[in-house]
């Protein structure tokens, strides 16, 4: 059960452990902040200089999102790690979590009522924080970023082993994290400015169309008979059977749907015929109202 | 799992829906990759719904609030810290550092540590030097790995991160004579010498703030604990601090009030 979830927890946790181990072994791989597109943009506006050495990492992350999809969100991001460990996504999962799905029901298209990732909201957040960073001359979002707070807590612990003086951040950082992830549940889909960059990369990706992604074998899919397992398991509530290209932009390739699909109808194969039929430009008709 | 409704009607709806969808998709497909398609995306971006606007607006207010609070505390604190080599100034380090902690990981002596959360909120997580586990031999690993330019090779601090200050009422040699540990360990010729009364004195132009004296100072083990006196007899402080601006040895009070405070007219 939930093999994929445990695998995701394992990989994201391994990254945290690796970063912590590197702090002890003095290998300077840095935290994920060394790959952050938002951090890059903030430094540019806050300092008026271009941090060239950040660029390769940032471009690499965006290239990975373009080629593989938003894998960062479900497999790497410490935020998802916390959500996977402690729950906290509204309608999610067959077991353990609520297990219900808002738009489900025979004859209904779950994707119609789905709350989508809001590139517009994330974009507004990004613009505001760049303006604010420009005014106050420091990267503001780094103080609030849940990824930074997870690593901040980690490094506060490693600092404690050197100075033997615990800091307030050991309490304050986790408290802010709880607020962001478990109270503001729309953090990832509507606030996270990193999601704006990933959303753009995913948009570009969906225009190419043939890149690997979650696809459904129409022959074995039981959606027409009322099966909504993929929607119920999907963290983004995507119904794989009826998903348009716009819906698949929100897919983080967590593979929960693939694991739970009762008829094994979900594949990763680049299927030109299906992708062609599924491509559409309904992005203008943003149903997130 | 949903799927409670059943019967021929519902099933017919499904087929209808599917047929319609394929038709719309096919129509829409023609427009894919056209200018209109991209324009539609941009339109969706520039005309968010009210709900999106509320979420983003709320988040933006929180962001701006944090920034304002941070800025306020930062100005109020007007603090200076001993930073790793290559930090041009407090302002430039703060503007460029994204707290990736690569310098912290790179330091072979556990000297570079992320700043704890303090009243000076924006500096949390930025690197500072803590002489608890070692001293700086200017190996430059931190500067080499810094990806943001917050630590750069051009800054004057690449070979000078601060200056040592003797604390009169904590230094053993000031009380009894005889202790010369800091003078003996100092790796910089002439930076630490004994005056005519056998007390250590710092030549602040030669001292580069390596911190070996602070690390090795035996005062805590030679003196009875006294809450009113500093723990060690010698400390490294930032050259921009009020403590560094006062000539000669300091009292514990001068040291503690001026250690992290910017000197009058200091460089920002």
Q: Give per-residue pLDDT as tens, B26-61.
A: 444 444 444 454 555 555 555 566 777 777 788 888
Contact yes or no for A128 and B55 at CB 8 A: no
The per-residue pLDDT for B47 is: 58
Mutate to test the interface with A, among B11, B142, B147, B153 (most CBs of A within 10 A): B147
- pLDDT grade, residue B8 (50/70/90)? very low
If you measure CA to CA, which chain A residue comes closest to B117? A169
d(CA A127, CA A142): 15
Angle between helices A193-208 and A37-47 (to 10 degrees): 120
Report whether A75 contacts B175 (CB < 8 A).
no
Give the pLDDT band (50/70/90) at residue A283.
Answer: very low
Least confident residue range of A246-250, B128-132, B236-240: A246-250
B11 interfacial to chain A (CB closer than 8 Å): yes
> Which pLDDT band holds residue A104 (cuts at 50, 70, 90)?
low
Q: Do A30 and B95 touch (CB under 8 A)?
A: no
ipTM value > 0.90: no
B44–A137 CB contact, under 8 Å = no
Distance between CA atoms of residues B129 and B84, nearest Å: 6
CB contact under 8 A, B148 and A244: no
Collect all residues of chain B within an 8 Å Cβ-Cβ radius of residue A129. 60, 63
Give the closest of A49, A142, A242 to B98, CB-based.
A142
Q: Which of A142-156, B69-83, B131-145 has the lowest mean pLDDT?
A: B69-83
Record: contact A106-B29, CB cut-off 8 A = no
Question: What is the spatial distance between Cα B61 and Cα B34, in angstroms, rounded to a whole number?
Answer: 37
Any A CB within 8 A of B268 CB: no
Calculated CA dihedral for residues B259, B102, A8, A70, nearest 10 degrees: 110
Mean pLDDT of A258-287: 60
- Label residue A105 by pLDDT band (50, 70, 90): low
**Cα(B74)–Cα(A138) distance, rounded to whole angstroms?**
11
Instruction: Determine what percent of chain A is predicted with pLDDT higher than 70.
Output: 84
- Read off the pLDDT of residues A206-251 as tens digits, 9 standing for 90 and up: 887 677 788 888 888 888 888 888 888 888 888 888 888 888 888 8
In this predicted model, which residue has the larger pLDDT, B40 or B118? B118
Strands (E), A156-281: 215-216, 266-267
Partner residue opposite A283 with nearest CB, options B41, B106, B148: B41
CB-based contact, B19 to chain A, within 8 Å: no
Task: Report chain A residues whose CB lies below 8 A from the CB of B114.
Answer: 152, 155-156, 159
* pLDDT tens per residue, range A239-262: 888 888 888 888 888 888 888 888
Average pLDDT, chain A: 81
Per-residue pLDDT, A287: 41
- Which residues of chain A are within 8 Å of residue B14 when distances are taken between CB atoms? 106-107, 224
State the alpha helices, DSSP H only, in B78-109: 90-96, 102-106
Residues of A in contact with B11 (CB under 8 A): 106-107, 224
How do residues B134-187 score in pLDDT, each as one tens digit?
999 999 999 999 999 899 998 888 889 999 999 998 999 988 878 999 999 999
Asked if residues A33 and B101 have their Cβ atoms less than 8 Å apart, the reply is yes
Residue B13 has pLDDT above 50, yes or no: no
Q: Do B28 and A281 touch (CB under 8 A)?
A: yes
All structural domains of chain A with their residue ranges: 3-280
**Cβ <8 Å between A289 and B51:** yes
> Nearest residue of B to residue A134 by CA position?
B95
A23 → closest Cβ in B31, B94, B105:
B105
Task: Give the contacts of B69 (CB within 8 A, at least 6 positions apart).
Answer: B121
Please tell me which residue of chain A has the smallest CA distance to B5: A106
pLDDT digits (tens, 9 = 90+) for A9-53: 999 999 999 999 998 888 988 899 999 999 999 999 999 989 888
Distances (CA, A) of B5 to A113, A223, A226, A237, B267: 18, 13, 8, 20, 73
Cα B57 to chain centroid distance, Å, stands at 29
pLDDT at B40: 55
Instruction: Identify the residue whose tokens are 């890059």.
Output: A40
CATH number of B78-161: 3.30.70.20
CA distance B29 to B25: 6
Weakest mean pLDDT among A157-166, A204-213, B6-15: B6-15
Residues in A closer than 8 angstroms to B10, CB to CB, are 106-107
- What is the count of residue pairs from A and B with beta carbons less than 8 Å apart? 280
pLDDT band at A90 (very low <50, low <70, confident <90, very high): very low
Which residues 109-138 of B have a C-beta within 8 angstroms of A?
A: 110, 113-114, 116-118, 121-122, 124-125, 130, 132-133
Q: Which residue ranges make up each domain of chain B? A: 48-76, 78-161, 162-268
Higher pLDDT among residues A223 and B21, named by residue:
A223
The pLDDT > 90 percentage for chain B reads: 48
CB hemisphere CA count around A160 (13 angstroms): 13
């Amino acid at each position: 059960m939930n093999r994929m979830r445990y695998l995701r927890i394992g990989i994201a946790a391994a990254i945290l452990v690796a970063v912590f181990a590197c702090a002890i072994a003095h290998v300077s791989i840095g935290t994920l902040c060394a790959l952050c597109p938002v951090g890059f943009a903030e430094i540019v506006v806050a300092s008026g200089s271009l941090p060239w050495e950040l660029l390769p990492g940032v471009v690499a992350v965006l290239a990975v999102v373009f080629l593989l999809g938003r894998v960062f969100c479900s497999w790497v991001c410490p935020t998802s790690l916390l959500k996977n460990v402690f729950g906290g996504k509204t309608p999610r999962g067959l077991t353990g979590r609520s297990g219900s799905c808002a738009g489900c029901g025979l004859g209904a298209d779950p994707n119609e009522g789905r709350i989508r990732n809001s590139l517009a909201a994330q974009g507004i957040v990004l613009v505001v924080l760049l303006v604010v960073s420009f005014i106050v001359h420091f990267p503001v979002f780094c103080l609030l970023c849940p990824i930074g707070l997870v690593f901040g807590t980690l490094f506060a612990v490693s600092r404690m082993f050197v100075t033997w003086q615990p800091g307030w951040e050991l309490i304050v950082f986790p408290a802010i994290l709880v607020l962001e992830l478990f109270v503001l549940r729309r953090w990832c889909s509507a606030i996270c400015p990193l999601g704006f960059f990933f959303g753009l990369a995913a948009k570009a990706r969906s225009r190419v169309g043939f890149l690997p992604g979650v696809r459904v074998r129409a022959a074995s899919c039981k959606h027409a008979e009322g099966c909504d397992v993929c929607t119920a398991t999907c963290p983004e509530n995507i119904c794989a059977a009826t998903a348009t290209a716009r819906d698949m932009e929100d897919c983080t390739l967590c593979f929960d749907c693939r694991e739970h699909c009762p008829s094994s109808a979900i594949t990763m194969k680049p299927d030109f015929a299906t992708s062609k039929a599924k491509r559409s430009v309904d992005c203008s008709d943003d149903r997130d109202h | 799992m949903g799927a409670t409704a059943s019967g021929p009607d519902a099933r017919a709806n499904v087929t209808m829906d599917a047929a319609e969808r394929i038709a719309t998709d096919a129509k829409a497909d023609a427009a894919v990759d056209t200018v209109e398609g991209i324009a539609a995306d941009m339109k969706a971006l520039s005309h968010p719904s009210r709900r999106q606007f509320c979420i983003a607006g709320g988040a933006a207010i929180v962001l701006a609030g944090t920034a304002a609070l941070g800025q306020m505390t930062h100005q109020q604190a007007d603090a200076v810290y001993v930073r790793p080599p290559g930090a041009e100034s407090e302002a430039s380090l703060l503007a460029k550092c994204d707290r990736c902690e690569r310098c912290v990981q790179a330091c072979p002596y556990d000297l570079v540590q992320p700043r704890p959360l303090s009243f000076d909120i924006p500096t949390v997580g930025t690197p500072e030097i803590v002489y608890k586990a070692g001293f700086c031999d200017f190996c430059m690993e931190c500067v080499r790995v810094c990806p943001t330019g917050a630590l750069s090779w051009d800054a004057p601090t690449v070979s000078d991160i601060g200056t040592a200050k003797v604390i009169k009422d904590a230094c053993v040699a000031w009380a009894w004579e005889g202790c010369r540990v800091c003078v003996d360990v100092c790796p910089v010729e002439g930076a630490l010498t004994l005056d005519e009364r056998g007390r250590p004195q710092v030549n602040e132009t030669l001292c580069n703030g390596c911190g070996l004296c602070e690390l090795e100072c035996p005062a805590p083990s030679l003196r009875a604990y006294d809450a009113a006196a500093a723990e060690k007899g010698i400390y490294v402080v930032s050259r921009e601090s009020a403590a560094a601006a006062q000539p000669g040895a300091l009292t514990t009070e001068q040291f503690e009030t001026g250690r992290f405070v910017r000197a009058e007219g200091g460089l920002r």
